[in-house]
């Protein structure tokens, strides 16, 4: 699985018409064209197309893109208009952002800038240290969403507060009390990610956007248009010193592929260099707080009993301490997911049919269930093409 700096570009296989993107060949599938799938990919094409076409008009979707990554190749399958969503198109990825945020925090830990056991009180001081509960929350707690903050706060996407610190101060001052004892309660709340990012800024002595550029975007080769925003938008994203680290990333499927390939390779970047230690990559797949009670979990409302690893979902029922599949589904129909046991990663991206690029609220549960429906087809296709 390790990458090599001298290896040739990974081949890009697909179903349908042959297109050319850079030095790699990419084929794109549409049902109206004759098949030219590699043997074993037909069922996956049919599964994506049938489910997309069934709900596309109702949910205002325009185009579906699926990229499947293995150590040997990248396979692209699409449904609907091929110009609506494509591998290099920059999209507001919503909660898929959390996975990238988590990887950046793990990189800072790997660089010795911070530790899992660092607490809010000792790192941030001031009113954070004075809080009798939140002050004891650690980086490990916050990344697992068991840090004690159980509610969403609009300061996470406010352009008026000015900085991450100012936003986090409002979160601490205005969050409903009492807070939960850190480690005791799981709550899916971007407020926790905000405090986590502020701790990263303090420990590293740099703003979040600069940290992202230096420690993730540049070393992994993400595009220059891949940026954190305060208010993401396909047409008019708003950037400030208070980035929405839980949902404000603008990125393409190809940007996420570079992150996913690194995880799939156990921490090696595509040039063969070591980006993260194997143990830190493994933290994405582990939940040290499996016994925590649940205060809020949107996936439970979708009928899924998943819990968090580190800034991403572990796709397994029953709140296990470890799982082989992780994901980070975004509200806008953008879902990166990875199965280390079956040796693949994938990105699902759904296009919007609206001029402003906003998606229907039901697209989020649709994309979560679509991803789960596609997984067994991907597994079989990967085995058949190994």
How far apart (Å, rounded) are the C-alpha atoms in residues 167 and 156?
Answer: 6
For residue range 262-313, what is the model confidence (pLDDT) as tens digits?
999 999 999 999 999 999 999 999 999 999 999 999 999 999 999 999 999 9
Query: Sorting pLDDT into bands at 50, 70 and 90, what band is 385?
Result: confident
Q: Of 27-41, 80-94, 151-165, 171-185, which range is least confident?
A: 27-41
Q: What angle separates helix 363-384 from helix 42-59, to the nearest 10 degrees?
A: 170
Place of tokens 């794109």: 28
The pLDDT of residue 351: 94
Task: Check if the beta carbon of residue 200 is closer than 8 Å to that of residue 123.
Answer: no
The DSSP letter of residue 230 is S
Average pLDDT in the 230-243 region?
90
- Evaluate if residue 23 carries a pLDDT over 90: no
Q: How many CA atoms lie within 13 A of 330 on its CB side?
A: 33
Query: Sorting pLDDT into bands at 50, 70 and 90, what band is 22?
Result: very low
Q: What angle separates helix 190-204 from helix 97-110, to the nearest 10 degrees?
A: 30
Average pLDDT in the 327-334 region?
96
- Evaluate if residue 28 carries a pLDDT over 80: no
Task: Check if the beta carbon of residue 136 is closer than 8 Å to that of residue 174.
Answer: no
How far apart (Å, rounded) are the C-alpha atoms in residues 286 and 276?
Answer: 16
The pLDDT of residue 88: 97
Stated pTM of the model? 0.91
Task: Check if the beta carbon of residue 190 is closer than 8 Å to that of residue 246.
Answer: yes
The pLDDT of residue 12: 52
Q: For residue 351, what are the β-bridge partners?
A: none
How far apart (Å, rounded) are the C-alpha atoms in residues 298 and 95?
Answer: 12
- Among residues 308, 304, 303, 281, the alpha carbon closest in space to that of 292 is found at 308
Task: Check if the beta carbon of residue 86 is closer than 8 Å to that of residue 65.
Answer: yes
Does residue 37 or residue 24 have the better pLDDT?
37
- Evaluate if residue 10 carries a pLDDT over 90: no
Q: For residue 327, what are the β-bridge partners?
A: 313, 337
The pLDDT of residue 38: 64
The pLDDT of residue 354: 83
- Evaluate if residue 231 carries a pLDDT over 70: yes
The DSSP letter of residue 75 is E
- Among residues 37, 30, 40, the alpha carbon closest in space to that of 65 is found at 30
Q: Taking all residues of the chain, what is their mean pLDDT, rounded to a whole number? A: 90
Give me the long-range contacts of 231-239 (CB less than 8 A, separation at least 24).
231/157, 231/159, 232/92, 232/93, 232/94, 233/92, 233/356, 233/357, 234/91, 234/92, 234/352, 234/356, 234/357, 235/356, 235/357, 237/92, 238/159, 239/209
For residue range 97-124, what is the model confidence (pLDDT) as tens digits?
999 999 999 999 999 999 999 999 999 9
**Percent of the chain clearing pLDDT 90 (strictly above):** 82
Judged on CB neighbours under 10 Å (0-12, 13-18, 19+), 141 is: buried
For residue range 252-265, what is the model confidence (pLDDT) as tens digits?
999 999 999 999 99
- Among residues 260, 369, 246, the alpha carbon closest in space to that of 315 is found at 369
The pLDDT of residue 357: 77
Query: Sorting pLDDT into bands at 50, 70 and 90, what band is 30?
Result: very low
Average pLDDT in the 134-143 region?
98
Q: In sequence order, what are the residues at sequence separation of 6 or more whose Cβ sits closer than 8 angstroms to the Cβ of residue 317?
A: 304, 305, 306
Q: Is the dihedral of CA 177, 183, 189, 191 positive or negative?
A: positive
- Evaluate if residue 5 carries a pLDDT over 80: no
Q: For residue 61, what are the β-bridge partners?
A: 352
What number of residues does the chain have? 386
How far apart (Å, rounded) are the C-alpha atoms in residues 15 and 256?
Answer: 21
Place of tokens 């990344």: 143
- Among residues 139, 147, 132, 101, the alpha carbon closest in space to that of 295 is found at 147
The pLDDT of residue 186: 96
Does residue 7 or residue 322 have the better pLDDT?
322
How far apart (Å, rounded) are the C-alpha atoms in residues 49 and 143?
Answer: 35
The pLDDT of residue 39: 67
Q: Hey, what domains does the chain have and what are their CATH numbers? A: 1-88+253-283+329-386 (3.30.450), 93-251+292-312 (3.40.710.10)
The pLDDT of residue 19: 33
């Amino acid at each position: 699985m390790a990458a090599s700096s001298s290896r040739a570009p990974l081949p890009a296989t697909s179903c349908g018409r042959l297109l050319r993107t850079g030095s790699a060949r990419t084929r794109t599938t549409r049902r109206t064209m004759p098949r030219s799938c590699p043997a074993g990919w037909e069922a996956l094409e049919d599964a994506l197309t049938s489910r997309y076409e069934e709900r596309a008009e109702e949910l205002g979707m325009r185009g579906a893109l699926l990229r499947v990554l293995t150590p040997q190749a990248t396979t692209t399958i699409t449904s609907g208009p091929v110009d609506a969503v494509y591998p290099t198109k920059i999209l507001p990825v919503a909660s898929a952002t959390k996975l990238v945020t988590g990887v950046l925090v793990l990189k800072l830990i790997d660089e010795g800038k911070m530790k899992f056991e660092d607490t809010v009180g000792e790192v941030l001081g001031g009113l954070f240290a004075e809080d009798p509960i939140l002050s004891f929350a650690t980086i490990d707690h916050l990344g697992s969403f068991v840090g004690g903050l159980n509610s969403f706060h609009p300061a996470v996407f406010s352009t008026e507060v000015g900085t991450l610190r100012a936003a986090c101060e409002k979160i601490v001052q205005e969050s409903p009390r009492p807070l939960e004892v850190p480690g005791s309660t799981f709550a899916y709340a971007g407020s926790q990610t905000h405090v986590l990012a502020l701790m990263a800024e303090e420990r590293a002595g740099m703003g979040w956007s600069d940290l992202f550029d230096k420690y993730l975007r540049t070393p992994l080769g993400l595009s220059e248009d891949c940026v954190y925003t305060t208010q993401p938008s396909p047409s008019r994203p708003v950037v400030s010193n208070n980035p929405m680290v839980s949902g404000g990333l603008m990125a393409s499927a190809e940007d996420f592929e570079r992150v996913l390939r690194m995880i799939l390779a156990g921490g090696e970047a595509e040039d063969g260099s070591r980006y993260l230690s194997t143990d830190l990559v493994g933290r994405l797949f582990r939940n040290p707080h499996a016994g925590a009670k649940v205060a809020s979990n949107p996936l439970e409302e979708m009928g899924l009993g998943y819990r968090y690893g580190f800034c991403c979902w572990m796709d397994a029922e029953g709140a296990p301490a470890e799982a082989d599949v992780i994901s980070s589904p975004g509200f806008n129909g953008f879902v990166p997911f990875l199965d280390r046991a079956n040796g693949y990663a994938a990105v699902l991206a759904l296009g919007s049919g609206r001029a402003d690029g906003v998606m229907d609220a039901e697209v989020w549960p649709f994309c979560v269930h679509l991803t789960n429906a596609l997984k067994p087809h991907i597994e079989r296709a990967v085995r058949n093409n190994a």
